[in-house]
Amino acid sequence: MNKWIKLAAVEIPNNGGTLTLARRDKEFSIRLSGIRGELMNSRVHGSEEALAELGCARLKTAAGARVLVGGMGMGFTLAAALRMLPASAVVTVAELIPAVVDWNRGPLGECAGQPLQDSRTRVHIGDVAGLVANAQNAFDAILLDVDNGPEGLTRDDNQWLYSVAGLKAMQRALGPEGMLAVWSAGPDPMFVIRLKKTGFHTSVRSVRARPGKGSHHTIFLAKKGSAPL
């Protein structure tokens, strides 16, 4: 088997460590210094796609649907959302690290089918928390794939998103029957309690990291409005 070739590296703001992109044949890997193992691998993306499929399920025929994707990653969540949505939709992807967007505009974009080239895609360079905090009735769905889920792994700043205050901000940012879908490495009963405390109709799904095999990840679904999930 061929060796990994380092393609690029970037420092995460506020001493967050070094993010490194590597390639081996057609496989890509993103790693973070100080964290054992990979953050992302282009062969393992089933749960990222499930995040979009579950979060956008009600929007397949919704004219002018507005969706926010928190975290660019390798583009699989963005690509899956675009496949689910009509031609009139607008999908904003918020990414804190500009280099990650650049990587997805380069060779890494091949993995997910170059979703940044879709005319429905908008890019917001910056923290998704800041975007959400200043939004009101702006999105029909928010797909959140930031860090390790509610139990942050790489950035303490991410914890606000999963707090009651952050959840209330996302509820304000959603439209009347909007959906919040949150990716997590594993279950988190306390996060479910916070979602319900905020007033969301809540459901928890366990999905495979790879189709039919691999580890299980968790998708939290939280719906705003009067109609239950």
Residue 49: predicted pLDDT = 96
Please state, in angstroms and as integers, the Cα–Cα distance from residue 128 to each residue in 75, 135, 166, 169, 192, following that order: 16, 11, 11, 11, 21
| Strand ordering across the sheet containing 139-144 | 121-125, 90-95, 66-70, 139-144, 174-184, 213-223, 201-210
pLDDT over 90 percentage in the chain: 82
Q: What is the mean pLDDT of residues 92-113?
A: 96
- pLDDT of amino acid 34: 83
Confidence of residue 207 (pLDDT cuts 50, 70, 90): very high
Encode pLDDT of 7-55 as tens digits: 999 998 877 789 999 999 999 999 999 888 788 999 999 999 999 999 9
- Given this model, what pLDDT does residue 15 score? 79
Whole-number average pLDDT of the chain: 93
pLDDT (tens digit, 9 = 90+) per residue, 140-195?
999 999 877 887 544 556 788 999 999 999 999 999 999 999 999 899 999 999 99
**In the chain, count of helices (H) and strands (E)?**
6, 11
Q: In what order do the strands lie in the sheet with 40-41?
A: 5-11, 18-24, 27-32, 40-41
Residue 117 reports pLDDT greater than 70: yes
Determine the Cα angle at 173 with ends 19 and 55, to 5°: 70
Residue 66 has pLDDT above 90, yes or no: yes
Q: What is the pLDDT of residue 157?
A: 61
Domains of the chain: 44-223 (3.40.50.150)
- What is the rounded CA–CA span in Å between residue 59 and residue 44? 25
Average pLDDT estimate for 79-85: 98
User: Hey, which bits of 34-149 come out as E strands?
Assistant: 40-41, 66-70, 90-95, 121-125, 139-144
